[in-house]
Amino acid sequence: MSYPISGSLYYLDESFDRERIGRELDAQRAAGFDLVWVNGPLFRLADLKLRAASDEQAAFDPIACLMEEAHHRRMTVMLEIMAGEDWYERWDLPADLETSYELITLIGEKYGQHPSFFGYYLGNEIYIVHGAQREYCKTLWTNLARCCKKATPGCKVALSPFFVTDIAEVLGYTYEKPEAYANFWESMLTDTGIDILMLQDSGAEHASCFPLDDREPYFAAVARACSAVGVELWGNVELAEIAVSDYEELKAFRSDFGVNGVGFHDPRWIQVPLSKLRDKAGLADRYCSRLVSWGFQQFVSPLSGKSGAEAYYEQFKTWNTSRIAE
């Protein structure tokens, strides 16, 4: 069974107006997308509180606009819940629970009843953790899933974790064998209330250097875990990668700048070659019930400004929409 990529993570901030949102969603819809999962600074607690207190008739709300425009195009929307981008540096469960509860209340009240609303995306992207960090994740997700479903009955709650194939631990991540991922995720998802796991297919943190054969055991392991506990597994088939030959080169690319290097404008950030994308999607098809993605907005959209994006978009659109009919 072949599935089209049905949506991509979408970054939204206060600079987006209705015309820009509409053009971007038109490009997504034409490429075969019917889901938008959204993050960005507008989902910070201070921003949400400010909009909640403002004159709704006078203030333009990009989130509400996105949901309206998505509905007009028969698309659904998933909104992010994340207490702070530095959560994995603090591991402060009481504070993050308090902030997240407020986020869910505000988002649920203002956007949760919109006909395009699909659910909540918990933005804690993680691999395998142990001890207090594991307890943090389990407790956080269980409580947030319960809160989401109370705020918006019938909604879906999703995570998008990754895996680490770097056996030598060059990048600093702890390496664990695929079977450990099966055990970890079965335990973590049991009685948590998570509905969907969107597994990122770039275990080397967006690097182009490792083959699909290295990725498949992780998909198989996580698929076993999801099946055991009745959680739906989606494939997060990424559309962009960093052109490096090995982990040492990737470490140098990051240097002191973080996982994205100096930024997406770096020419080593490239669109995944279409032949490789076909293979990546084929891998996800074998284990997943739906495909989503990351990188469309930044690298594939004809509005992205990325070199080669317009030509790549036309090829991607032809390929992805052909999968809808399969």
By three-state DSSP, how is residue 321 classified? helix
pLDDT of residue 225: 98
Half-sphere exposure of 296 (CA within 13 A, CB side): 32
Dihedral of CA atoms 164, 230, 97, 122 in degrees, nearest 10, equals 60
Dihedral of CA atoms 134, 136, 142, 146 in degrees, nearest 10, equals -170
Task: Measure the CA–CA gap between 39 and 82, rounded to whole angstroms.
Answer: 9
pLDDT of residue 263: 87
pLDDT in tens, 10-21: 999 999 999 999
- The residue behind tokens 């899933």 is 145
Contacts for 189 with CB less than 8 Å, ≥ 6 apart: 197, 225, 226, 229, 231
Asked if the model's pLDDT at residue 119 lies above 80, the reply is yes
pLDDT in tens, 250-296: 999 988 788 888 888 899 999 999 999 999 999 999 999 999 999 99
Task: Measure the CA–CA gap between 6 and 321, rounded to whole angstroms.
Answer: 10
Name the nearest CA neighbour of 197 among 162, 249, 167. Answer: 162
pLDDT in tens, 308-320: 999 999 999 999 9
Name the nearest CA neighbour of 302 among 16, 102, 24. Answer: 24
Query: What is the pTM assigned to this prediction?
Result: 0.96
pLDDT in tens, 65-116: 999 999 999 999 999 999 999 999 999 999 999 999 999 999 999 999 999 9
Name the nearest CA neighbour of 117 among 38, 226, 234. Answer: 38
Counting the structural domains of the chain, the total is 1
Could you list the residue range(s) of the whole structural domain that residue 296 is in? 5-321
Helices 93-111, 131-151: inter-axial angle, 10-degree rounding: 20
- Quick check: is 232 in a domain? yes
- Quick check: is 326 in a domain? no
- Quick check: is 216 in a domain? yes
Using pLDDT thresholds of 50, 70 and 90, give the confidence band for residue 58.
low
Ranges assigned E (strand) in the chain: 5-11, 35-39, 76-81, 117-122, 156-159, 196-200, 232-236, 240-242, 269-271, 290-293
Give the pLDDT mean for 109-125.
96
pLDDT in tens, 160-205: 999 999 999 998 889 999 999 999 999 999 999 999 999 999 866 7
Task: Measure the CA–CA gap between 6 and 32, rounded to whole angstroms.
Answer: 6
Asked if the model's pLDDT at residue 326 lies above 80, the reply is no
- Quick check: is 175 in a domain? yes
- Quick check: is 26 in a domain? yes
For residue 252, how many other CB atoms are within 10 A of its CB?
10
- Quick check: is 198 in a domain? yes
Task: Measure the CA–CA gap between 298 and 151, rounded to whole angstroms.
Answer: 32
By three-state DSSP, how is residue 207 classified? strand
- Quick check: is 236 in a domain? yes
Task: Measure the CA–CA gap between 205 and 251, rounded to whole angstroms.
Answer: 10
Report the CATH number that the domain containing residue 282 is assigned in CATH: 3.20.20.80
Using pLDDT thresholds of 50, 70 and 90, give the confidence band for residue 52.
confident
- The residue behind tokens 């080669």 is 308
User: What average pLDDT does the chain have?
Assistant: 94
Asked if the model's pLDDT at residue 57 lies above 80, the reply is no
CB–CB of 151/189 below 8 Å? no
